Amino acid sequence: MAINKITVRGARQHNLKNISVEVPRNTFTVITGLSGSGKSSLAFDTIYAEGQRRYVETLSAYARQFLDQMERPDVDSIDGLSPAISIEQKTTSRSPRSTVGTITEIYDYLRLLYASVGIPHCPQCGKPISRQSAEQIVQRVMQLKPEDRVMVMAPLVRGRKGEFKAELAKLVQQGYVRARIDGELRHLDEELDDLQLDKRKNHTIEVVIDRLLVKPGIEKRLEQSVATAMKLGNGLVQVAVVGGEEYLYSSRMACPDCGINIPALEPRSFSFNSIYGACPECNGLGSKYDFDPAKIIVDWSKPLMDGALGPASGSTYLQRMLEIVGAAYKIDLATPFEKFPAKVQNLLLYGPGEKEAPRVGFRGVLGFLKQNLEESTSESYREWLLGYMSATRCSVCQGRRLRAESLGVKVNGFSIAEFTALPISRAVEAAANIQLNERETTIAGRVLHEISERLQFLNAVGLGYMSLDRSAATISGGEGQRIRLATQIGSRLRGVLYVLDEPSIGLHHRDNARLLQALEALRDLGNTVLVVEHDEETIRRADYVIDLGPGAGLHGGAVVASGTPEEIMRQPESLTGQYIAGVKSIATRFEPRATNGKAITVLGARENNLRGIDVTFPLGVITVVTGVSGSGKSTLVNDILYRALAKELYRSREAAGAHKAIVGAEHVDKVIRIDQSPIGRTPRSNPATYTGVFTHIRDLYAMLPESRERGYKAGRFSFNVSGGRCEHCQGEGERRIEMNFLPDVYVLCELCGGKRYNHETLAVKFKGHSIADLSGRPGARFICSTNPRPGCTLKTSASCLK
C-alpha cells in the first residue's frame, strides 16, 4: 500500500505541546499561524531535522560514529518521511568571489560551454584566433635577435598536483636529460632518484627538447624540435630566451598578426577562482582596494598643491617631484586641477607609465601615497591614509574578473563576462538564440539545454531583473531563498520533501504568482512541498493548511485547525481563517498622519538603475518605499540615503551611491539601519547579550552575598571567559562536531547540559534561580520570577511557574 501522508505524533520541540499532525504527501502544504506559534519548530526543527538525521544514518561508518551525539527532535514518531531538503532564509555566502552564477551552478555550465565550443579572439586586435603550424612558430623564433640562446620545451604538466614519478622515469627512458620543474632546470639522468615532488602541491614540468643559438641555417633542426615538442606537449611549445622573455606557442590557437598565443581552452580558463583564468591584477575579485582620486582631490577648483590635494599636500618631496614633471611635460601646476584635460590629470595621479617612470622618477601622486602606506610604521597615519581609499574597479579587467585571453573567447558574439552581465530575462533570450552546428551540438548540446532551463527557472521565480555576475553579498534573504528554489527545480528530483521558510517575503505581488507556479511545479514533479508562510495568496493556493496557535510562545504550540483553505475559513477557532474569510480585518488609517514640516530630499539619485530621480522623505512619519523587485528600492534607501547620512553624521568611510546632493540632513542627529543580517552567528549570541541586559544580570549576581563570600566578580558569570564557564564546551552550551561533507553539527554539551556554566557558578542563586535558569526563561517569566507584581496573571499561571 502506497504511503500517502507524513504522520507526526507527539511533537514537543521548543513550544510545541505534544501535537500530532498529518501532512499529505505530494501536495503543497502551508504551515501558518502567529509569529512565535511554533511553525518553524514543527517544519524545520522537527520534520526536517528528523529527515536529516535519517539521511546521516545511510552514510558511511565514519559519519555514523557521531549519531549518538546528534540531538534527536523531541517527537514520539514520524512516519512516511521522504528525503528532506531545507530552503531557508539563511544568509547567502558573503565571499566576494561568490556570484548568482556560481551559487546556482549556471556559471559551471557556462565555463564548460565556452571551453568546448567558444571561438577565441585576440585580446589585442579582436580578430579570431586560428591554429598555428610548426612552420609559423619557426618563423616567429627566427625573428628573435641573432645570437639569442633559446630553449625549446614541451609543457608536460601545467599546474597539477602529484609526484609524477612515472612520467619523469619515462622521459629518461626516451632519452630526455633535462627538464624545467617549477621554474628550476634539473638534470633528469643525474637527479631522478633524489627528485621528490610534493603530491599535495601544484607543479609545472617542461621537458627541454633542444637548445639552440638563433642564426641562419637552424630552421630545419628548429622545425623538428618544435614538432617533437608539439607531440610531447599536446600541441603546446614553450620557447625560452636564456636570460630573457618566454613565449608560449600553440598549434591550436594563436593570433597571426599580434603573435598572441593562448593555451588550450579548459573550464578553469574561465574560472576567476583559478590562476589560469583570474585576472592577474585583481586575482579574480574584479576590484581593488586602492587610493580613490575622488577622495584624494578634496577641491577640484584649486591647483594641485594649493588646496586641491588632501593627503601629502605638505610633502616637500612630492612638491619637488611635481615641479620636475611639470617642467618635463610643460604643465602649469598653478592651473586649477579641474581645468586640466583628463590626460594631464591621469599623468599627475598615476604617473607617466611603466616605461617613462624610471626616467622621470615619478610614479604619480597615487604611487607616492602607496609607497608611504607600505613604508609607514605609524598605525594612526596608516589608518588616516585608509580613509582616502575605496574598493575601485580593477583597471585591467574592468571588473570582469578574468584574463584578457579568457574574455576574448565568444559564443554567439558574447564573451562569458558579457553574457553573465545580462539581466536573467535577457540571458534567457540570448541562450535561446545560440545556434550550434551538428558537431557542436554533439559536444555541448546538453550543456546549453541545462543553461537555458536553469535560467528559465530563475526567471520564473521573479528574479529576471538580476544578473549572473551579481555578487552574492548583495542578495537579500528572500532573493537567496528563491535562487536556491530555482536551483532545486533545475535538479528535477522526485519523491523529496522540500521545506521552505516564507519564500514570498520581499516579493512584489506582481511576481508572487510566478513564485507559486514554481512551487506547484515542484509538487507536480512528485514532491511534497511544505511551506512556512503568512501570505494570503499562498495560503489560498495551498492544497492543505495547518494553522498553529492560538498565541505565541507559551500560548502557542497547538494545532488550531487543519484542512483545505476552505475548511480553515469555516473554523472560528482559526485566527488565520477568520482574516482570510474577511470576518476580521486590519484597521487602516483613513487620514494620513500629519508631518512635522521637515523632510530629507535626495537629489539626482542615479546609482545602478536609478535615473537621476529626486525623492523627498518626510520626517516624523512612517514612509514606505515600494515597487516591483529590482526597481531600485534598496539602492535608493540603503546605498544612497543611509550611506549619505552616515557619512554626514558619523564620518563613515562607506561611499554613498551616485547622487547630486542630500538636503535636510541637519534635521536628524542619528541614523540606524535595521536589515536582514543575523544579530549573531555563533551559539554564544542570544537576545540578552545583544540587547545588553545580560551585563546587568551579571552585575546583579556579582552583588549577591554568596558571590562576595567566594570573591566572584561579574566576569565569573560570563560564558565567554574562563573562570565560571563550562570548560568542556567553552561556555557555548553546545559542542561543534565537524562533518567532512555535511554542515557542522551542534550537539548539547554532556557535562553542563547546555547551561554553559560550571557547578560552582550555578550554585549562586537569586531567589532560588541560578543565572542559567534566568537566562533560559522567556522575558515575561523572568520578570515574574524576579519581581512579581500583584494581580499579574502570569504569577499564578501554572505554565509560567513550571
The 10s digit of each residue's pLDDT in 421-462 is 999 999 999 999 998 888 888 989 999 999 998 998 888 887
Record the pTM. Answer: 0.63
In which residue are the cell numbers 586641491 written?
308
The β-bridge partners of 545 are 30, 563
Can you tell me the distance from the alpha carbon of 114 to that of 278, in angstroms, rounded to the nearest whole number?
15
Return the pLDDT at 192.
76
Q: Letter for the amino acid at 394?
A: C
Amino acid letter for position 388: Y
pLDDT computed for residue 428 by the predictor: 94
- Round the CA-based radius of gyration of the chain to a whole number and report it: 34
Q: How many helices and strands in the chain, by DSSP H and E? A: 33, 24
Listed range (75-89, 214-228, 564-578, 702-716) with the worst mean pLDDT: 75-89
pLDDT band at 776 (very low <50, low <70, confident <90, very high): low
- What's the average model confidence in pLDDT over 698-727? 90
Report yes or no: 652 and 643 within 8 Å, Cβ to Cβ.
yes
203 has a pLDDT exceeding 80:
yes
Is residue 586's pLDDT more than 70? yes
Asked if residue 382 lies in contact with residue 428, where contact means CB atoms within 8 angstroms, the answer is no
Tell me the per-residue pLDDT of 280-338, one tens digit each, with 9 for 90 and over: 888 898 888 778 887 888 888 888 888 888 888 788 888 888 888 888 888 888 888 88
Nearest C-alpha neighbor of 499 from the set 91, 30, 58, 77: 30
Rounded to whole angstroms, the Cα distance separating 363 from 21 reads 73
Amino acid 193: pLDDT? 75
pLDDT of residue 58: 76
Q: Alpha-carbon dihedral of residues 113, 115, 117, 123, nearest 10 degrees? A: 120
pLDDT-derived band of residue 197, with 50, 70 and 90 as boundaries?
confident
Residue 310's SS3 state is coil
The pLDDT of residue 641 is: 94
**List of residues 6+ apart from 488 with CB closer than 8 A:** 85, 87, 498, 522
Q: Is the pLDDT of residue 781 over 60?
A: no
CA distance 354 to 43: 62
Max CA separation in the chain (angstroms): 110
Task: Read off the C-alpha cell for 486.
Answer: 530555482
Determine contact, residues 156/205, Cβ cutoff 8 Å: yes
**419 pLDDT tier (thresholds 50, 70, 90):** very high
Question: Is 98 strand, coil or helix?
Answer: coil
Task: Please give the grid coordinates belonging to residue 716.
Answer: 565569573
CA distance 276 to 263: 10
How crowded is residue 705: how many other Cβ atoms within 10 Å of its Cβ?
8
3-state helix, strand, coil in the chain (%, to 5): 40, 20, 45
- Which of these ranges, 297-306, 655-664, 677-686, has the smallest mean pLDDT? 677-686
Residue 350 has pLDDT above 80, yes or no: yes
pLDDT in tens, 459-515: 888 788 889 998 887 776 667 777 887 887 777 788 899 999 888 877 777 778 878
The pLDDT score that the predictor gives to residue 271 is 92
Q: What is the mean pLDDT of residues 399-410?
A: 91
Contact between 552 and 560 (Cβ < 8 Å): no
Whole-number percent of the chain with pLDDT over 90: 30
Mean per-residue pLDDT for 48-72?
71
The pLDDT value recorded for residue 568 is 93
Taking CA atoms, 434 is separated from 6, 414, 635, in Å, by 45, 10, 33
Half-sphere exposure of 502 (CA within 13 A, CB side): 14
Residue 790 has pLDDT above 80, yes or no: no
pLDDT value for 783: 53
What cell does 68 get? Answer: 549518538
- In the DSSP assignment, the letter for residue 187 is E
Q: How far is CA 318 from CA 307, 366, 392, 456, 496, in A?
A: 14, 11, 24, 57, 68
Helix H or strand E segment including 665? none
Q: Considering the chain, what percentage of its residues have pLDDT values greater than 70?
A: 89
What is the average pLDDT value for the chain, to the nearest integer? 84
Say whether the peptide bond before residue 550 is cis (omega within 30 degrees of 0).
yes
Residue 358 has pLDDT above 70, yes or no: no
Least Cα distance to 544 among 558, 556, 531 occurs for: 531
Q: What is the mean pLDDT of residues 189-206?
A: 84
- Note whether 502 and 39 are within 8 A (CB): no
Give the integer Cα–Cα distance in Å for 166 and 174: 12
User: In whole angstroms, what is the distance from residue 691 CA to residue 220 CA?
Assistant: 81
Residue 668 has pLDDT above 60, yes or no: yes
Query: For residue 712, what is the DSSP state?
Result: -
